[in-house]
């Protein structure tokens, strides 16, 4: 029966081949590089990268001990958790609120205009966003120039440790809120319109319709996005922070990803960088499993 089914639908199986090749070459083969975390890797030990990995001496868990006992590790881990948690608390609800409010705009031309304006920042690179932010908030930016003209002191957004994290949250919110709302807008469109009509007949105003129909209707999508976000809580925004931070705010802004970049590529300590990256991946895997299990226990819903 199985052979007959395969012969009948073999074209569909052939369509899997390019995807399987892609996974093998770009996803599974690079996993061999994880062994660098257990070696004293020397890029010059062999004639090529694979040969260098093989010939580098095995050190077992020494790299993990070096990471866990270092002062820098506790600092970057703390920064990663704090920044990512703050982004989760302040930014995760914004796309939901925006999607609900935008859905209530009945004039399509106004709705499309708002969508375009709010989605646009997503397509800007972090380099451009940093340039815009620096032009507005930098030491010679528009805001500080205005404050100086009034005889007031400058506000050092990019070098003040107390202000840099709020700057990260604000800039990411401005850039990604509109784009992140797409999935929630799509979920709202799947809600049966007859529910709203019945609610209107019963005298429910817009707020009651939102709280009793819209929010329950998009709850599965909200839970899915929340689980995925919790699973990546140690990824606090590598590109954003790499572009925007500087040595004066390393103490509050250096996260695991930027530390791996500076150590792995900047100082050519590939073993330390791989160890930190592997630690990050394992913790993220555990978190996403835990978040999914907790969601299923509390709400009866999860990703799997």
Segments making up each domain of the chain, as ranges? 61-299
CB 103 within 8 A of CB 115: no
CA-to-CA dists, residue 237 to 79, 136, 174, 184, 233, angstroms: 11, 21, 14, 22, 10
Q: What pLDDT does residue 122 have?
A: 92
Q: What pLDDT does residue 87 have?
A: 92
Q: What pLDDT does residue 177 have?
A: 92
Q: What pLDDT does residue 197 have?
A: 84
Residue with tokens 């709850």: 219
Q: Which of 261, 88, 73, 251 is nearest to 164 (CA)?
A: 251
Residue 152 DSSP symbol? P
Q: What pLDDT does residue 1 have?
A: 52
Q: Which of 256, 91, 72, 75 is nearest to 169 (CA)?
A: 91
Distance between CA atoms of residues 260 and 283, nearest Å: 16
Residue 144 is encoded by which pair of tokens? 């500080």
| Cα angle value 41/279/268 (rounded, 5°) | 30
Fold of domain 61-299: MetI-like fold (1.10.3720)
Q: What pLDDT does residue 240 have?
A: 92
Give the three-state DSSP class for 302: coil
Q: What pLDDT does residue 171 have?
A: 93
Residue with tokens 């004293």: 40
Give the three-state DSSP class for 40: coil
Those residues of the chain that have pLDDT short of 50 are none
- Which residues make Cβ contacts (< 8 Å) with residue 215, sequence separation at least 6? 100
Q: What pLDDT does residue 169 have?
A: 93
Q: What pLDDT does residue 95 have?
A: 93
Distance between CA atoms of residues 66 and 276, nearest Å: 10
CB 245 within 8 A of CB 267: no
- Which residues make Cβ contacts (< 8 Å) with residue 137, sequence separation at least 6? 143, 144, 155, 157, 158, 167
**Stated pTM of the model:** 0.81
Q: What pLDDT does residue 287 have?
A: 82
């Amino acid at each position: 029966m199985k052979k007959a089914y395969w012969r009948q639908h073999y074209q569909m199986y052939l369509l899997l081949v390019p995807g399987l090749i892609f996974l093998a070459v770009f996803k599974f083969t690079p996993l061999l590089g994880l062994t660098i975390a257990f070696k004293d890797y020397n890029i010059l030990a062999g004639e090529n990268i694979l040969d260098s990995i093989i010939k580098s001496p095995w050190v077992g868990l020494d790299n993990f001990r070096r990471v866990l006992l270092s002062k820098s590790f506790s600092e970057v881990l703390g920064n990663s958790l704090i920044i990512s948690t703050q982004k989760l608390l302040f930014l995760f609800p914004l796309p939901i609120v925006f999607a609900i409010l935008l859905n209530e705009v009945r004039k399509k031309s106004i709705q499309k205009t708002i969508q375009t304006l709010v989605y646009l920042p997503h397509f800007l690179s972090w380099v451009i966003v940093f340039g815009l932010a620096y032009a507005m908030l930098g030491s010679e930016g528009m805001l500080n120039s205005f404050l100086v003209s009034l005889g007031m002191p400058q506000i050092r957004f990019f070098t003040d440790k107390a202000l840099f994290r709020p700057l990260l949250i604000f800039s990411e919110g401005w850039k990604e809120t509109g784009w992140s709302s797409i999935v929630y807008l799509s979920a709202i469109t799947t809600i049966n319109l007859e529910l709203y009509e019945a609610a209107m007949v019963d005298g429910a105003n817009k707020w009651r319709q939102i709280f009793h129909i819209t929010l329950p209707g998009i709850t599965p999508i909200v839970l899915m996005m929340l689980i995925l976000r919790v699973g990546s809580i140690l990824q606090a925004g590598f590109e954003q922070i790499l572009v925007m931070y500087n040595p004066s705010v390393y103490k509050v802004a250096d996260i695991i990803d930027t530390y791996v970049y500076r150590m792995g590529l900047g100082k050519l300590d590939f073993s330390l960088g791989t160890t930190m990256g592997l630690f990050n991946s394992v913790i993220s895997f555990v978190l996403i499993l835990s978040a999914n299990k907790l969601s299923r226990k509390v709400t009866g819903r999860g990703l799997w």
